[in-house]
A and B are shown apart, each in its own frame.
Chain A
Amino acid sequence: MNRSDTDIPSRGTGWRSWVATLGLCLALLPLHQAHALTMAEALAISAGDNDARIVALQAKLGKNDPGMIPFLQAMAADSVKVSGQLVFIVDGDVAKDAVTGQTVALPADAEDVVNNNRMSSEIEAFLAAGKLSSPDLDARKEGIDALSAVADESKLPIIDQALSTEKDAKLKALLEVVRAKALLAAAEPARRIEGARFLSEAGSPEARALLMERLQDDAETDPSVRQVLSIALDKVNSSLAWGERAGVVFTGISLGSILLLAALGLAITYGLMGVINMAHGELMMIGAYATFFIQNLFRQYLPDAFDWYILLAVPMSFLASALVGAVLERTVFRFLYGRPLETLLASWGVSLVLMQGVRTIFGAQNVQVENPSWLSGGFDLFSNLTLPYNRLAIIAFAVLVLVGMTLLITKTRMGLFVRSVTQNRPMASCLGVNTARVDTMAFSLGAGIAGLAGCALSQIGNVGPDLGQSYIVDSFMVVVLGGVGQIAGTVYAALGLGLVNKFLEGWTGAVLAKIFVLVIVVIFIQKRPQGLFAMKGRSAEA
């Protein structure tokens, strides 16, 4: 009697609301028409020997009887009572007749209906089967999930029936896995082998999990079935391996693109201007909060255009961070040029103030930034590899920002000024460049790019006051590894670190991979203190 009460509450709210809607529909129908369930049937299902109860239950299968659903729902929630020949559904203090649904007084001698594990799983399966014929895709999906949890040989008829009617390709594939699962648990070895054969064809991660579970020490005892199972597992593994390899490369590039976005701004403020901006991460955070703010504005005033809030959020996050950057440059960093260690301390102070400021305004909790619908979901490349649209969008965005920034620095007049001031400030000043102005512009450009990075990050992770802290060490690593003042180096370093990190993660787990990467970077800097792409010539020592 270890049936847990949490089975039902742990289901998604989708099914509950579905049940509730159904209940409402039922209430609107004339009662005697909807309730084909008779008191005799209800009694047979509720009381007596378990085998007989299950037979009675299965007799109702496939009859499409809407009266069964609220009744079984109540059974599963352990709120059915029996007294004599009458069955009641108890809801709090109110008792209802299980057949007519009318409120009645509960007799004092009413006893709880107790369901053992077998009975509960039958009830679950019946409810799941009911959903399988629903016109709603999500409800069918829930039905399949529920069925999968209780799948065994006795459920094969239900599954086969559902398979014959299911039209949706994805759900059909899911159902077939459930069928294989039921087959694997069958008593007859031949059927188990059939299940294993099927799974080896399916080649999905679920198939692998099922096979591995079955191959555990005491699960499968028949040696011939075991052999088929392990052959099937090998086959599944090899067909999954490509997806996994591609997955590592993709997540590596994705991490690389995030690192690149985080480091590009730093490549300007640190690489070109020599300011050790420890508040860079907080500028990213400001960009992310700007996105949050724009999102809320759209939700409030333009809910129809909500999907396009990101188009406004991108420039706004740039502007917000750039503005903060310009203020910081004018008030703090301006006085610290040429004293890199002191900019480090001052900017750390700035980062504390910014973080606390955000806590005061938006609260210390993380805030929710929702993906526009066209950025959620993903593109299925292999059965076990889905490329999420938001990650793909960030990769594309990183490339755009990179191209834009490179063009800005190399092709525009402002870029020319920035480069000239970096290379030789007095000479640039002599030629009429307003160096103070250029400094402010360049710093706010770097800050603005940090804001763009924050906007991108808001689409894939939590947005909170500590957002920037986790990126600051990484982005410095990227800039230092790539070589200070080298945008090309930054790109290679970001992608390289991203890929190495993800490859190591496969072997060692996330934390050790990160530690290894840091150690590799530290050793690398010992060997080549100027980074991957060392500046040559006189400027190298400056």
Chain B
Amino acid sequence: MSAVMTSSTLAGGGLTIPRSALGPKGWTALMAAVITVMALVPLLNLLVPADSVFHLSDFAVALIAKIMCYAICALAMDLIWGYTGILSLGHGLFFALGGYAMGMYLMRQIGRDGSYKSDLPDFMVFLDWKEVPWSWAWSESFALQMLLVVLVPGVIAFVFGFFAFRSRIKGVYFSIITQAMTYAAMLLFFRNETGFGGNNGFTDFKRILDIPIAQPSTRMVLFIITGMTLIGFYLMARWLVNTKFGRVLQAIRDAENRVMFCGYNPLAYKLAIWTLSAVMCGIAGALYVPQVGIINPSEMSAAAGIEIAIWAAVGGRATLIGPIIGAFFVNGAKSWFTVEFPEYWLYFLGALFIAVTLFLPQGIVGGVRKLINKDKAEVKA
């Protein structure tokens, strides 16, 4: 049972977390994050003149916003993988489903401004459809469509998880079937007949809630909402892993059989965290689409699902802050590499996957903690 042994070494990191959700340092860092998102970024982007060194370009704001959406996914991955020991390669699917739900609303918001001047989205006119298919019934209402952002990933994850966990599928088997599920969904979404724009997906959005989507103030509001969602989810996750529920999850990760012998039924716990994690990804997707301006089936590719796992692994599993750092590190590196050395990006990413699994099994945060502990030990000696 070597899998258990590895997991329990990870738990060593988890147990050092103080009982109260955050220590004094943590609260300070949190306040700093809130101020950055709420005040600093808007100020530097909107008020500081463009030629000043302190000016934050629109590109940088968009990049940070995009990475914050990814960070929410990485956080969701940490809950299910880092704390419960279930590696999902299907989180790309939930992210895309949330994105598609938001995209449908945004497509209807284009109204008659599309290139065919029709009430229907352009791709439907192109396919010669006369009315929206049943799946688009709610797409004109923002509130109902936002409900779908939560419901679609939630229900799919619930049903899938129920059957998978009930038959006690775990470990690699679970990873592989989540990947197969995502792959099947990607093939489905690539079809024009599915009714979600085929391989072009949705793009060319104009408005959200009747407000032009491209104007700086809208972008900034979306940025702030994304940032606050990330911080909110972080606090929720921090609280959750310290509750009794969170402790049971970690126990399941370390020794599922023993948890069962103690009288717990892991099904309910796994299912709850799995569904929550999927919903978080769905919300991240819904925030991602209006800011990036496109959603297509490639978000469901196997590569996208695995990348989410790598963000969590690079930052450090079972640390909550680690996956966020990992998402920023990997995606920051990606946007730098693809500009500076486009040829070498995949070499770097591949090497990162290998190096992290071989040399940094606890990620950046784990590595830093180890260094700090070593220093402390030296000071004491």
Residues of B within 8 A of A355 (CB): 346
Question: Is B313 at the interface (CB under 8 A from chain A)?
Answer: yes
Residues of B within 8 A of A515 (CB): 184, 187-188
Indicate if the CB atoms of A345 and B302 lie closer than 8 Å.
no
Indicate if the CB atoms of B350 and A344 lie closer than 8 Å.
no
- Taking chain B's interface residues, is the majority helix, strand, or loop, or is none over half, making it mixed? helix
Question: Is B23 at the interface (CB under 8 A from chain A)?
Answer: no
Indicate if the CB atoms of A349 and B349 lie closer than 8 Å.
yes
Residues of A within 8 A of B172 (CB): 276, 340-341, 344
Residues of B within 8 A of A519 (CB): 184
Indicate if the CB atoms of A352 and B180 lie closer than 8 Å.
no
* Alpha-carbon gap, A522 to B175, bound state (A): 12
Question: Is B309 at the interface (CB under 8 A from chain A)?
Answer: yes
Indicate if the CB atoms of B173 and A480 lie closer than 8 Å.
yes
Stretch at the interface among B59-67, B119-127, B351-359: B351-359
Residues of A within 8 A of B102 (CB): none
* Alpha-carbon gap, A189 to B352, bound state (A): 76
- Report B16 CB to chain A, min CB distance, Å: 22
- Choose from B183, B347, B353, B358 the contact partner of A348 (Cβ within 8 Å): B353
CB closest residue in chain B, given A524: B177
- Choose from B168, B175, B180 the contact partner of A477 (Cβ within 8 Å): B180
- Choose from A339, A349, A356, A511 the contact partner of B353 (Cβ within 8 Å): A349
**Which A positions have Cβ atoms within 8 angstroms of B?**
276, 278, 332, 335-336, 338-346, 348-353, 355-357, 360, 469, 472-473, 476-477, 480, 511-512, 514-515, 518-519, 521-523, 525-527, 529, 542
* Alpha-carbon gap, A338 to B3, bound state (A): 7
A345 in contact with B309 given A332-B358, A511-B191, A518-B183 (CB within 8 Å)? yes
- Report A392 CB to chain B, min CB distance, Å: 29
CB closest residue in chain A, given B183: A473
Residues of A within 8 A of B347 (CB): 352-353, 356-357
Residues of A within 8 A of B169 (CB): 525-526, 529
Most buried by A among B1, B2, B177, B181: B177
Indicate if the CB atoms of B350 and A349 lie closer than 8 Å.
yes
- Choose from A341, A360, A511 the contact partner of B171 (Cβ within 8 Å): A341
Question: Is B6 at the interface (CB under 8 A from chain A)?
Answer: yes
* Alpha-carbon gap, A76 to B175, bound state (A): 63
Residues of B within 8 A of A352 (CB): 346-347, 349-350, 353
Question: Is B361 at the interface (CB under 8 A from chain A)?
Answer: yes
Indicate if the CB atoms of B346 and A480 lie closer than 8 Å.
no
Residues of A within 8 A of B176 (CB): 276, 476-477, 480
Question: Is B179 at the interface (CB under 8 A from chain A)?
Answer: yes
* Alpha-carbon gap, A339 to B357, bound state (A): 10
Which residues of B28-85 are within 8 A (CB) of A?
A: none
Question: Is B167 at the interface (CB under 8 A from chain A)?
Answer: yes
Question: Is B240 at the interface (CB under 8 A from chain A)?
Answer: no
Q: Mark B343-381, 1 if CB is under 8 A from A, else 0.
A: 100110111111011100100000000000000000000
Residues of A within 8 A of B180 (CB): 473, 476-477, 518, 521-522
Interchain Cβ contacts under 8 Å between A and B, 27 examples: A276-B172, A278-B306, A332-B354, A336-B358, A341-B87, A341-B171, A341-B172, A341-B175, A343-B357, A344-B87, A345-B353, A345-B356, A348-B306, A349-B351, A349-B354, A350-B354, A353-B350, A477-B176, A480-B176, A511-B191, A512-B191, A514-B187, A515-B188, A521-B177, A526-B163, A527-B167, A529-B168
Q: A335-B358, A473-B180, A525-B169 are in contact. List 17 more A-B contacts (CB 8 A).
A: A276-B175, A278-B306, A336-B358, A338-B6, A345-B309, A349-B353, A349-B354, A350-B353, A351-B350, A355-B346, A473-B302, A518-B181, A519-B184, A522-B177, A522-B181, A526-B164, A529-B173
Question: Is B248 at the interface (CB under 8 A from chain A)?
Answer: no
CB closest residue in chain A, given B179: A473
Indicate if the CB atoms of B350 and A340 lie closer than 8 Å.
no
- Report B217 CB to chain A, min CB distance, Å: 40
- Choose from B1, B167, B168, B358 the contact partner of A346 (Cβ within 8 Å): B358
Most buried by A among B166, B169, B173, B176: B176
* Alpha-carbon gap, A518 to B171, bound state (A): 19
Question: Is B190 at the interface (CB under 8 A from chain A)?
Answer: yes
Which residues of B102-117 are within 8 A (CB) of A?
A: none
Indicate if the CB atoms of B350 and A350 lie closer than 8 Å.
yes
Residues of B within 8 A of A526 (CB): 163-164, 166-167, 169
- Taking chain A's interface residues, is the majority helix, strand, or loop, or is none over half, making it mixed? helix
Residues of B within 8 A of A346 (CB): 353-354, 357-358
* Alpha-carbon gap, A310 to B310, bound state (A): 40
Q: Mark B153-178, 1 if CB is under 8 A from A, else 0.
A: 00000000001101111011101110
Residues of A within 8 A of B310 (CB): 345, 348
- Report A345 CB to chain B, min CB distance, Å: 5
* Alpha-carbon gap, A484 to B173, bound state (A): 10
Q: Mark B259-301, 1 if CB is under 8 A from A, else 0.
A: 0000000000000000000000000000000000000000000
- Report B349 CB to chain A, min CB distance, Å: 6
Residues of B within 8 A of A338 (CB): 2-3, 6
- Report A401 CB to chain B, min CB distance, Å: 24
Indicate if the CB atoms of B351 and A353 lie closer than 8 Å.
yes
* Alpha-carbon gap, A346 to B313, bound state (A): 11
Residues of B within 8 A of A473 (CB): 179-180, 183, 302
- Report A539 CB to chain B, min CB distance, Å: 13
CB closest residue in chain A, given B352: A349
Residues of A within 8 A of B358 (CB): 332, 335-336, 346
- Report B322 CB to chain A, min CB distance, Å: 15
A345 in contact with B350 given A340-B171, A476-B176, A518-B181 (CB within 8 Å)? no
- Report B195 CB to chain A, min CB distance, Å: 14
Most buried by B among A278, A355, A542: A278
- Report A213 CB to chain B, min CB distance, Å: 24
CB closest residue in chain B, given A351: B350
Indicate if the CB atoms of A511 and B167 lie closer than 8 Å.
no
- Report A352 CB to chain B, min CB distance, Å: 4
* Alpha-carbon gap, A145 to B229, bound state (A): 66
* Alpha-carbon gap, A336 to B357, bound state (A): 8
Residues of B within 8 A of A472 (CB): 302
Residues of B within 8 A of A276 (CB): 172, 175-176
- Report A363 CB to chain B, min CB distance, Å: 12
Most buried by A among B167, B173, B357: B357
- Report A364 CB to chain B, min CB distance, Å: 10
Residues of A within 8 A of B357 (CB): 336, 342-343, 345-346, 349
- Choose from A340, A341, A525 the contact partner of B177 (Cβ within 8 Å): A525
* Alpha-carbon gap, A527 to B166, bound state (A): 10
* Alpha-carbon gap, A522 to B93, bound state (A): 16
CB closest residue in chain B, given A276: B172
Indicate if the CB atoms of A356 and B181 lie closer than 8 Å.
no
* Alpha-carbon gap, A339 to B87, bound state (A): 12
CB closest residue in chain A, given B180: A518
- Report A246 CB to chain B, min CB distance, Å: 28
Q: Mark B176-217, 1 if CB is under 8 A from A, else 0.
A: 110111011001101100000000000000000000000000
- Report B122 CB to chain A, min CB distance, Å: 23
- Report A512 CB to chain B, min CB distance, Å: 8
* Alpha-carbon gap, A473 to B181, bound state (A): 10
* Alpha-carbon gap, A338 to B163, bound state (A): 27
* Alpha-carbon gap, A518 to B182, bound state (A): 10
Indicate if the CB atoms of B187 and A339 lie closer than 8 Å.
no
- Report A504 CB to chain B, min CB distance, Å: 13
Residues of A within 8 A of B190 (CB): 511
* Alpha-carbon gap, A469 to B173, bound state (A): 19
- Report A111 CB to chain B, min CB distance, Å: 44
Most buried by A among B175, B180, B188, B310: B180
CB closest residue in chain B, given A519: B184
Indicate if the CB atoms of A511 and B3 lie closer than 8 Å.
no
CB closest residue in chain B, given A338: B2
* Alpha-carbon gap, A170 to B323, bound state (A): 67
- Report A477 CB to chain B, min CB distance, Å: 6
Q: Mark B7-40, 1 if CB is under 8 A from A, else 0.
A: 0000000000000000000000000000000000
